[in-house]
Amino acid sequence: MKPEDRLRNTFRDRIVGRGGVAVVYPRTRYARSGVSDLLVCYRGRYLAIEVKLPGGSYGATPSQVAFLEDVYQAGGIRIIAREWDDIEPWLNVIDRAGDQPEVRP
């Protein structure tokens, strides 16, 4: 398993452990280019999480950035995560927001 896949799976397991639903988007020739590595529903909020290795020399591709922007424009939360600390604060904000309709930075 690739290091990025292990990191993604760790993030997925932690989100599920907090009561969220996290799906790894399948990569097929029919899939939309740029879809984030993790698609998450957490307490009714939609998060798209693009996973990158810590210290990695590359960032999100233009198609990944475009997908994250589409998610943001549709009211979702977009995250590029290199470590758990890039994700956990968002989950904490959602926890504190409760049933409020919008969570934004």
| Tens digit of each residue's pLDDT (9 = 90 or more) over 34-50 | 999 999 999 999 999 99
Say what the pTM is.
0.88
More confident site: 30 or 78: 78
Half-sphere exposure of 6 (CA within 13 A, CB side): 5
Instruction: For residues 63-67, give the mean pLDDT.
Output: 95
Instruction: Flag whether pLDDT at 68 surpasses 80.
Output: yes
* Domain 3-97 bears CATH identifier 3.40.50.300: no
Q: Beta-strand (E) ranges in 1-105?
A: 21-24, 38-42, 45-51, 77-81
Domain extent listing, the chain = 3-97
Could you tell me the CA-to-CA distances from 18 to 9, 14, 41, 43, 44 in Å, in that order? 14, 6, 11, 10, 13
Residue 47 main-chain phi, psi, to 5 deg: -125, 135
Q: Which pLDDT band holds residue 31 (cuts at 50, 70, 90)?
A: confident
**What pLDDT was estimated at residue 55?**
78
Q: How many C-beta atoms surround the C-beta of residue 67 within 10 A? A: 21
